[in-house]
Structure 1
Amino acid sequence: MADNNSLPGGESLQVQLPDQIVTVQILVIIFLCINLLLIVTFFTKESFYTTTRYILFAVTLLSDSFLLLMSNILVIFTQFYITIQVWVCIIICVVVLVYVTVTPVTLTAMTLERYVAICMPLRHGELCSRRSTIHCILIIHGLSSVPCIVILSTFFVSTSLSFYKQYQLCSVELFLLYIWQQHLRSAIYQFQFLIMCIILVFCYVKIMKVAKAASGEDKKSTKKGLRTVVLHGFQLLLCLIQLWCPFIEAPLLQISFSLFNNVRYGNYIMFFLAPRCLSPLIYGLRDDFFFKALKYYVSFGLCKRNII
């Protein structure tokens, strides 16, 4: 069982409840409540769960909620240096590894949906049907599972069965026993995000061309779609930076646990929580139809019901 009295850098552990962990808990609770409210709103109107962009929006809300719950457990374990058996850690990290990628891949699919809606409006109904959306969700989870499968496969072939019963401080880094595994993980994530960035830039350029040629209401709608793509791009950038955080944090752990903890806290707020709070902003508040439905249910029907 891990030694709970000493840490890398020669520091002793003092179990306490610092302001950092309290702040994180408050933010996580707020984001989960907002996501729950948006998910409830999504299921109250049939047109929402039969429209591709709203279905994909609900996927991001659910994946973000799963990720916030599981990652928050890891944050608490790290903060108080709580060790658990490795096999339990595997279950938690599977959810984290899969859903940390589901959101950016879903954002890319939502960008493609906007591209089809604006640049190929006559084929939008055919390409973005409910059936094709379900297939898209399966593909999203399949692609998002690739890093998890690779990381855990290399871990399983490198350890003995007795290791799974040991008590360890749970983190994804626990499964990266060798440097080449870290490089392999990085290569997979970087390749995935390179493809997503190429798709994003392609859609942005095509929608921009349509925006320049459009007029009147079409121009207004196209520009709004363009801003949505830009916001998706910003979210993907934050998610990409998040993948570099472990490479910054790992050397700090050998120097000072308090420094490592402070840097990890800042990275968690900036590059983990921040991208997840943008999804409600982009589709929950900026989308007129969804916002009207949200306002109606939040006000318990006092606001005039005028939604699709």
Structure 2
Amino acid sequence: MNSTRRLDSLSEAFLKNFITFAIAIIINFINGTFVYTYFKSHVFQRDPRYVLYIHLVINDMIMLTTSVALQIITYTIPLKLAPCCILLLILATTNKNSPLNLAGMALERYIAVCKPLHHVQVCTVQRTYSFITLIWAVSLMPSLTDIIFLVATQPLSIFSRNVICYNSNIFSTKFHKTHREIVQGLLLCFVFLTVLITYLNVLWAARAASGLNQASARNARNTILLHGVQLLICMSTFVSPFINIMLVTAWPEKRTSILFTTYLVTGILPRLLSPLIYGIRDKTFSSHIRMLFCSSCYRAEKRVNPMGPQRRSKKVSH
């Protein structure tokens, strides 16, 4: 998509940036609601399950903000290679964080159902933060490798040049392409197998359990299945280049529109769907959201009408 931005007319460029910016503001506002609810309720901060969930939300907010900022910058001002590499580093790292975080959430549910006696010892908040740190380290290494290889093979003067900043344009050597394909393949296979194995184990546990344990196992099974759906949403970012090739080959005259549409569908909207589906489905989280915002609305009404509806009605009756 980025390589065709220079071909857009002024009105097309403005419309695309306005649409993307508006959608990003709405998505970050909704996701920010989940973050606000998490930090206002201490019960969530003591549960590893919600710690992983809110990390997923914050990670997607960072990814979305970086992606939209990169798009607007590319349209509006020249960008040097050095800051471009920093933005691409953040974007690539957060993009890899999402599926790894989903794998961690699936493992936490597996331990809670299949190893309940060990859950309290294994799944602590401190260990969850350590796991999140490990996720960032694992996701950061491939992107750092790309930049190190670029520095080693190119003169340092290229970092002061203006570039069109997108991943396949900056890291375009055969090494970068092969490295990218291997990392993405290993990452998705690892996460897919993790989600599949944990789902099957929880499924068997649900069949073997009875009473309340069976209900708990079924809830965990549905949660892990939801993680599988979230994984498919995350995978849409990785398969978008192949979708673009197929669609542009079929309709070459609509290339810019196709690339922009796939960018919205695979790069922007998943940042809302994944956290929103999980946040609304979780009864505890959704109830806390309602409590917080209903109480906020009540306090706002009290400030506007401190007498209250009953006293006001008595005054009218006189």
Instruction: State the partner residue of 1:243.
Output: 238
The answer to whether 1:289 aligns with 2:284 is yes
Instruction: State the distance in 1 between where 2:250 and 2:211 align.
Output: 60
Instruction: State the distance in 2 between where 1:82 and 1:161 align.
Output: 22
Distance 1:254 1:210, change over 3 A: closer
After TM superposition, give the deviation of residue 238 of structure 1 in Å.
2.6
Instruction: State the partner residue of 1:84.
Output: 79
Q: Kindly name which structure, 1 or 2, has the bigger radius of gyration based on alpha carbons.
A: 2
What secondary structure is seen at the aligned counterpart in 1 of 2:79?
strand
Instruction: State the distance in 1 between where 2:249 and 2:158 align.
Output: 23
Cα distance per residue 1:24-56 (max 9 Å; x no partner): 222211110011111111011112111101111
User: 148, 151, 154: which is aligned to 1:156?
Assistant: 151
The answer to whether 1:122 aligns with 2:114 is no
Instruction: State the partner residue of 1:227.
Output: 222
Cα distance per residue 1:176-219 (max 9 Å; x no partner): 23133212111111111101111111001001001112233322
User: 26, 30, 45: which is aligned to 1:30?
Assistant: 26
Contact 1:115-1:203 at 8 Å conserved across structures: yes
User: 161, 169, 188: which is aligned to 1:166?
Assistant: 161
The answer to whether 1:58 aligns with 2:54 is yes
User: 187, 193, 212: which is aligned to 2:207?
Assistant: 212
Cα distance per residue 1:141-177 (max 9 Å; x no partner): 1111122122212222221111011111111123223
Instruction: State the partner residue of 1:137.
Output: 132
Report which stretch shifted further, 272-281 or 27-36: 272-281
After TM superposition, give the deviation of residue 254 of structure 1 in Å.
11
Distance 1:165 1:257, change over 3 A: farther
What secondary structure is seen at the aligned counterpart in 2 of 1:268?
helix
After TM superposition, give the deviation of residue 231 of structure 1 in Å.
1.6
Instruction: State the distance in 1 between where 2:272 and 2:56 align.
Output: 11
Report which stretch shifted further, 117-126 or 268-277: 268-277
The answer to whether 1:277 aligns with 2:265 is no
Instruction: State the partner residue of 1:110.
Output: 105
Instruction: State the partner residue of 2:96.
Output: 101
Instruction: State the distance in 2 between where 1:32 and 1:116 align.
Output: 31
Contact 1:97-1:148 at 8 Å conserved across structures: yes
After TM superposition, give the deviation of residue 82 of structure 1 in Å.
4.4
What secondary structure is seen at the aligned counterpart in 1 of 2:295?
coil
Distance 1:21 1:216, change over 3 A: farther
Instruction: State the distance in 2 between where 1:156 and 1:244 align.
Output: 28
Instruction: State the distance in 2 between where 1:221 and 1:278 align.
Output: 25
What secondary structure is seen at the aligned counterpart in 1 of 2:154?
coil
Instruction: State the distance in 2 between where 1:258 and 1:74 align.
Output: 25
After TM superposition, give the deviation of residue 260 of structure 1 in Å.
3.9
Instruction: State the distance in 2 between where 1:149 and 1:258 align.
Output: 37
Distance 1:221 1:167, change over 3 A: same
Distance 1:59 1:154, change over 3 A: same
Report which stretch shifted further, 271-280 or 52-61: 271-280
- Identify the structure with the greater helix proportion: 2
- Residue segments in structure 2 that go unaligned for 5+ positions in a row: 299-318
What secondary structure is seen at the aligned counterpart in 2 of 1:88?
helix
Contact 1:116-1:123 at 8 Å conserved across structures: yes
TM-score (norm. length: structure 2): 0.84
Instruction: State the distance in 1 between where 2:120 and 2:204 align.
Output: 22
Q: 1:236 is matched by which residue type in structure 2?
A: L
Instruction: State the partner residue of 2:314.
Output: none
Contact 1:98-1:144 at 8 Å conserved across structures: yes
Q: 1:174 is matched by which residue type in structure 2?
A: N
After TM superposition, give the deviation of residue 273 of structure 1 in Å.
2.6
Instruction: State the distance in 2 between where 1:15 and 1:263 align.
Output: 18
Instruction: State the distance in 2 between where 1:130 and 1:248 align.
Output: 40
Percent identity over the alignment? 25
What secondary structure is seen at the aligned counterpart in 1 of 2:219?
helix
Report which stretch shifted further, 80-89 or 248-257: 248-257
Distance 1:44 1:182, change over 3 A: same
- Residue segments in structure 1 that go unaligned for 5+ positions in a row: 1-6, 304-308
| Matched residue count | 295
Report which stretch shifted further, 196-205 or 221-230: 221-230
Instruction: State the distance in 1 between where 2:159 and 2:31 align.
Output: 34
